[in-house]
Amino acid sequence: MIRASCHCGAVEIEVDTKPRSVTSCNCSICRRLAALWAYYTRREARLVSSEDAVSAYIWGDKMIEFYHCNTCGCPTHYEDVEKEIDSRFAVNARCMPQDAIAGVPVRPFDGASMGRTNE
């Protein structure tokens, strides 16, 4: 199990396994948040701190909720707006301990050319 947390520690997430890879997307939101997404399902990852510690940002086609800490602003995770037990729970691996993700490959994803932009 790996525990991820934002800078100030108000948001904590538990995941069952080390990610096999993390995704670096260049779309307008991901490039600003600089997130490295580690993909899980809602069975495999969970918010263990209070839901009051985070805010969701929803834009564009309004399919995804991007969560960040209300105190330090760190982007922590995203989820589908429509949640099911096996729907995606993506964790920002920058919130995981450095040694927990050492050696994990970073996969670039060209979200920008898929029209995912507000620019």
Partner 1 sequence: MIASRSYPGACHCRALGFEYRTALEPRKWPVRACQCTFCRAHGGLTTSDPRGSLTLFERVPGALNRYRFGRKITDFWVCRKCGTYIGATMESGGRSYGIVNVRALQPTPDQLNEPQPMNYDGEATAERVSRREERWTPIAGD
Chain residues in the site for partner 1 (CB under 8 A): 6-8, 28-29, 31-36, 55, 57, 59, 66-75, 94-95, 98, 118-119
41 forms beta bridges with 88
Closest contact distance (angstroms) between CB of 85 and partner 1 is: 26
Closest contact distance (angstroms) between CB of 46 and partner 1 is: 20
Decide whether 40 or 76 has the Cβ nearer to partner 1: 76
Backbone φ and ψ of 94, nearest 5°:
-65, -15
3-class secondary-structure state, position 5:
strand
Closest contact distance (angstroms) between CB of 109 and partner 1 is: 15
Closest contact distance (angstroms) between CB of 60 and partner 1 is: 10
DSSP state of 115: T
* Nearest Cα residue to 81 out of 105, 109, 106, 59: 59
Decide whether 45 or 54 has the Cβ nearer to partner 1: 54
Please state whether 79 falls in left (phi above 0), alpha (psi between -120 and 50) or beta.
beta
